[in-house]
Structure formats: structure tokens, C-alpha cells
Structure 1
Amino acid sequence: MKLHSPSLVVAFKDLSHFRRQILAHNAIRLLKNSTDANGLSKEEIATIKLYVSCFFLYIPLNEALRSEQYEQIKPWFPYLKLFHNAIYKLPERAGVHCRL
């Protein structure tokens, strides 16, 4: 089943202006340098790379998720959908994974 993924522009539209500008700058850089053998689009690759490399994204996103408050999590829904769709296209790999 093919799921529709929002674009990164849509994924960031409900975030604060400052955070949106920083994420957009990083996303543009990542979109230019992204290729994949797993069938991920450039936006899906950038979505994963932003989460693992950009503290302007993963810290506030994780704080919102840990809060369990719908109103704090809601602005992240489009990004989470794009991230979820991208992650599920990747092959499963056993092992220990960590952020560098």
C-alpha cells in the first residue's frame, strides 16, 4: 500500500518562523546531496537526515512527544508522517544504532 507523504514545506508549515527557516536551510542543503538505493525520495532522505543531525528538530520534536500533549504534538504531525513513511521503506537491520 502506497501512503501519501507530505512535502517538507507542508511538514514545516505549522512550526515557528525561526525554526522553519533553520530547518528549510538545512533541508535544501540535504536535498541537493541525496541519493538512495531503497526507493526513498530526496525529501524522505532529507527528513531522516534532519532528524538525526539537526538539534533544532529532534530536541523540540522529542520534547513535544514526551509531553503527551496533543496541542504540542499536532504541529509535528506532517513531519512525523513523512518520517514514518521514509523509515518504513528502509530494510530492517539488526544491531546497535546510535547518533554520532
Structure 2
Amino acid sequence: VVCTRLNAADLQSIYMKLQSPSLVVAFKDLSHFRRQILAHNAIRLLKNSTDANGLSKEEIVTIKLYVSCFFLYIPLNEALRSEQYEQIKTWLPYLKLFHNAIYKLPERAGVHCHV
């Protein structure tokens, strides 16, 4: 198996061509088990999602899933760190949706950290 190592320009070229998908479409290429876990968490998060920044409920859930669901965070970051296109391509639709949602948030000054 030959895996293609990505450079920033190649990844950006592929990524920029993607249309922003729905959350359902963003997860279509994940394993059945992972889709079921994420769907369950998404439904739970949708019930309590309100926003003053112009984000749709789907965009809010996209962000909340990343920060609160290790079934998403761990494999997504492992794929990104691998720098292998075959591992990353499954996540590109989700990343596009996540990027569009994050981009709508207002900037905040200060120190940000992750524990």
C-alpha cells in the first residue's frame, strides 16, 4: 500500500474544492459504529443548542462534538497527525463544516488553553 504524504499546498487545494456538507453527509464515510455514537451525541447536543453568533444548530453541534466527544476528537487528530491522505480524506467533509462554523465565531482576546 502506497500512501501519499500531504504537503500544505496539496491539502489546501483538495480542501478548498469541497462544498460545505450537512453533518449527516460529513459522517457518511466513517465506520457504522462511529456514526452511531456520533449520531447519538449529536441528537443530545441539538436539544440544547442556541447561539447568538449566527450559527445554525448543525454548526453548533459540529463544534460541540469536536470538543466533547472523544469518539471524534481522537481519531480525527490521529488522522491529521499522520499526514496521510487516505486517513485524512474521510474527515475532510467534517473539517469543512467545522471550519465554516468556527469562522463565524467572533474573535476573543486572551489566553486559550486545552487541558
Shift of residue 3 of structure 1? 9.8
Deviation at 1:5, TM superposition (A): 2.7
Runs of 4+ deviating beyond 6 Å = none
Which structure is larger by alpha-carbon Rg, 1 or 2? Answer: 2
For residues 31 and 6 of structure 1, the distance between their equivalents in structure 2, rounded to whole angstroms, comes to 17
Partner of 1:47: 62
Mapped contact 2:65–2:72 kept (Cα < 8 A): yes
C-alpha deviation, 1:29, in angstroms: 0.8
Partners of 1:34 and 1:42 within 8 A in 2: yes
Cα RMSD after superposing both structures: 2.4
- Aligned partners of 2:92, 2:83: CA distance in 1, in Å? 13
Which whole-Å CA distance do the structure 2 matches of 1:21 and 1:27 have between them? 10
TM-score scaled by length of structure 1? 0.92
Residue number in structure 1 paired with 2:28: 13
| Contact 1:3 1:85 (C-alpha < 8 Å) held by counterparts | no
> Are 1:27 and 1:50, in contact at CA under 8 Å, matched by a contact in 2?
yes
Residues in 2 aligned to 1:68 and 1:19: alpha-carbon distance in whole angstroms:
21
* CA distance, structure 1, for counterparts of residue 107 and residue 18 of structure 2: 19
CA distance in 2, matches of 1:60, 1:33: 25
- For each residue in 1:27-49, what CA deviation from the matched residue of structure 2 results, as whole angstroms up to 9, or x when unmatched? 01111211100000000000000
Alpha-carbon spacing, 1:89–1:37, altered in 2? closer, same or farther (3 Å)? same
Q: Which runs of 5+ in 2 are unaligned?
A: 1-15
Query: Percent identity between the aligned chains?
Result: 94
- Unaligned runs of at least 5 residues, structure 1: none
Distance 1:34 1:2 in 2: 29
Between 1:69-78 and 1:88-97, the stretch displaced more is 88-97
1:2, CA displacement in angstroms? Answer: 14
Contact 1:12 1:79 in 2 (8 A): yes
Query: How many angstroms does 1:4 deviate by?
Result: 5.5
Q: Is the contact made by 1:52 and 1:99 (CA closer than 8 Å) also made in structure 2?
A: no
Residues 28 and 35 of structure 2 are in contact (CA less than 8 Å); yes or no, is this contact kept in structure 1? yes
